[in-house]
Amino acid sequence: MPKALIATWEQVAVGVSHLGEGPAAARRRTLGVPYTEAIEGIRRALPPGSVYVLINADDKDEGDPLWTRFDLAPHPALFLGRLSRLPPRVRRAFPRGQPPVVLTFGNGEPPRLLGRAEFLDWFETPGRTGRPPVREEGSAARPR
Amino acid sequence: MPPVLAEALAGLGGVALFAAAGGGWILLLGLSLSRAGRVGYAYLLGVAWVAGGLYAGSHLFHLTLNRSSTLALVALPGVAGLVRWAWRRAPSQGGGRGGRRLPLSVLLAVIVGSIVSLGLFVEALANPLLDWDGRMTWASQARYLRAAGTVDAPVLRKERWFITHPRYPVLLPVAQVAVLETFNAQEDEEPFRPLYAAFFPAFLLVLGDGARRVAGRRVAGWVVLAAAVAPFLVHREGGATGAYSDLPLACFYGGGLLLLLTRKARWGEGIAAGLLLAAAALSKNEGAILAGFALVAAAWATLRRLPRNSSTPSAKRLTPAALAALFTLAALLLFLSWRAAIPNRHDEGYEKLGGLWPAVVTRIPRLLPLLLARFFDWDRWTLFWWAAPVVLLAGRRGLRGRIALPLALAWGAPLAVAWGAYSIHWDPYYLVQVTWDRMLIQGSLPFFLLLALALRQSVVGWRGTYGGQTAG
């Protein structure tokens, strides 16, 4: 049996049972509940037309900043690169206003939204921990 | 309306809109195509016209990317084509063979091609987009363009914003916007996914039409069947399952070339090929180069077939290619004008042509094994690249006709472009891994035509001419 037909059979067998499923349910099924809910929370927190700062908190991951940016489009993103390589005075790289920060982690960990001040306070703390603060109420906190 | 119906309506409605616009162009230009060819070309011409029209209209005349603009562009050729069809009393062209029994190969190709296409449409309607480049580049760009209502979105033009490949041409993202706007898609609804899936049956139909002309129906059936079961065209990066632009580019590039290679190509074929090659130039960076190769290959084939004592001047024979060249040039100018305002960032720098030498030679020993490994990767191509050389070798006498060498040139063009890129890229080994198979897709229509020529000779022993009478 040709591989293309086997793959087609799998597509049809899996796909037919999900036809008519809403986009949110389909995203939870394929992208995972934590990621999907994190994105939905960040979307709710970002006012229409607002911008955000995107930072990759995983040194080995390449994809998550891209997927997060896609899911948060059309909000424009200012990408500062990897967290481990940010300059000590990263504050200067931030745009004017109070743009929130979206951190991506890779390895299936959902992206996290932090307020600008919250992120900078943590980042500029001498002897800070390697991980940014986690809020108990969830990963999609409203920026300060 | 049940959600499943609404979803299917939006997804397949987008495909139908493009096909309607392209069908209008076929009627308007009086193209001589088989029934299958008409359907395949209608879809390709529709995407080329509607998305290309929105691209040009938005950049040059500030046309808003929305439902009204899309429907107007669909209606224009659709209505004009119908008027011409009614006026000319629907001449029957090339498709009047319905009474003949289908050869087994055609029957198998139709069945397998339909099953694989069905799987693609089910997948596209059931799942969100999950591929790499589709989300990184093409669908992201579509979201920014849709929000801005223009191809000159501020997010592309301001250097500070994070856009991957910001200077890539955006024909396919514009096509996505056309579908999203026409069906008023909400956040996370992706009715554009069937738009990409539809390029696969369009590819098979255009291939079937071309192969039938050069080798007859029986051989065309086998070649289409081979294309339908090649996993990479469907299920891997650049194939029809995702939202990469490689399969669309393959269709525009190969489809335009095949129209120009038609033996009795007239101005109608020239305009249609021009639309397709213009779309190729607006689909990917390398599209303009490939369109140039297609024009050279077509002109070469045209001049090769002229007998020494031909009464038809070369210039007249070259009119279709010249018309196509005008469209391609216009698209290239549009692209350069659009791109001029976009600063480069988050992209490779391929402009350093000075670095080509000597790397274009010195990298051969290390890159060649990698390339060969890709050809014979079972997951991606199964037996295809084992069998294809055997078929070409066995039918080598069939490759002596006027179009074989131009087809070979057209097949090699994307591979040459890739080799050039590998020669100047800082990490060619990585680039090979992520692009070589996609370059093979881009040149696949001319390659399958070469296979048809060889197969005709080795299996059927039929001798025909492109655009002449069909056999099989």
Half-sphere exposure of A22 (CA within 13 A, CB side): 4
Measuring CA to CA, which residue among B303, B328, B275 is closest to residue B406?
A: B303
Output the six-digit token pair for A51. Answer: 């911008």
Distance CA B162, CA A69 (A): 9
In the prediction, which pLDDT does B265 show? 85
Distance CA B291, CA B26 (A): 21
Taking a C-beta distance cutoff of 8 angstroms, is the pair B286, B167 a contact? no
Q: What is the pLDDT of residues B370-408, one digit of tens each?
A: 999 999 888 888 889 999 999 999 999 989 888 999 999
In the prediction, which pLDDT does A79 show? 95
CB–CB of B115 and A5 under 8 A?
A: yes
Q: How far is CA A106 from CA A47, A100, A113, B394, B419, in A?
A: 25, 20, 15, 51, 33
Chain A residues inside the 8 Å CB shell of B187 = 23, 43
CB–CB of B122 and A31 under 8 A?
A: no
Q: How far is CA A134 from CA A56, A122, B279, in A?
A: 16, 11, 48
Give counts: helices (H), strands (E), chain B.
23, 0
- Is A98 in CB contact (< 8 Å) with chain B? no
- Is A33 in CB contact (< 8 Å) with chain B? no
Quickly list DSSP for A59-78.
SS-SSHHHHHHHHHTTS-EE
**What is the least distance, in Å, from the CA of A51 to any CA of chain B?**
9
Taking a C-beta distance cutoff of 8 angstroms, is the pair A105, A111 a contact? yes
Output the six-digit token pair for A118. Answer: 């919250």
Quickly list DSSP for B323-353.
HHHHHHHHHHHHHHHHHHTS---SS--TT-G
In the prediction, which pLDDT does A141 show? 43
Q: Mean pLDDT score of chain A, rounded to an integer?
A: 87
- Residue B161 has its nearest CB partner, among A12, A16, A78, at A78
Taking a C-beta distance cutoff of 8 angstroms, is the pair B249, B287 a contact? yes
Radius of gyration of chain A (CA): 18
In the prediction, which pLDDT does B352 show? 64
Distance CA B423, CA B412 (A): 16
Q: What is the pLDDT of residues A58-97, one digit of tens each?
A: 988 889 999 999 999 999 999 999 999 999 888 888 888 8
The pTM of the full predicted model, rounded to 2 decimals, is: 0.93
**What is the least distance, in Å, from the CA of B466 to any CA of chain A?**
30
Residues B93, B95, B98, B103, CA torsion sign: positive
Interface test with B, best of A1, A3, A6, A31 (most B CBs within 10 A): A3
- Is A84 in CB contact (< 8 Å) with chain B? no
Q: Which pLDDT band, with edges at 50, 70 and 90, does A144 fall under? A: very low
Q: Which pLDDT band, with edges at 50, 70 and 90, does A142 fall under? A: very low
Taking a C-beta distance cutoff of 8 angstroms, is the pair A19, B4 a contact? yes
Measuring CA to CA, which residue among B128, B141, B145, B163 is closest to residue B242?
A: B128
Q: Which residues contact B25 (CB under 8 A, 6 or more apart)?
A: B42, B45, B46, B49, B77, B81, B272, B275
Chain A residues inside the 8 Å CB shell of B127 = 15, 18, 26, 30
Distance CA B38, CA B22 (A): 9
In the prediction, which pLDDT does A136 show? 47
- Residue B140 has its nearest CB partner, among A3, A21, A70, at A70
Distance CA B158, CA B197 (A): 33
Output the six-digit token pair for B91. Answer: 């001449």
**What is the least distance, in Å, from the CA of A40 to any CA of chain B?**
11
Q: What is the ipTM of this complex?
A: 0.92
Distance CA B468, CA B461 (A): 16
Q: What is the DSSP letter of A140?
A: B
Chain A residues inside the 8 Å CB shell of B190 = 23
Q: Quick one: chain B helix, strand, coil %, rounded to 5?
A: 70, 0, 30
Q: What is the pLDDT of residues B57-114, one digit of tens each?
A: 999 999 999 999 999 999 999 999 999 988 886 555 555 555 578 899 999 999 999 9
Measuring CA to CA, which residue among B333, B220, B154, B316 is closest to residue A76?
A: B154
Residues of chain B with pLDDT under 70: 1-4, 89-99, 305-311, 346, 348-354, 460-472
Beta strands in chain A (DSSP E): 52-56, 77-82, 101-104, 112-114
In the prediction, which pLDDT does B215 show? 93
Residue with tokens 């070979």: B408
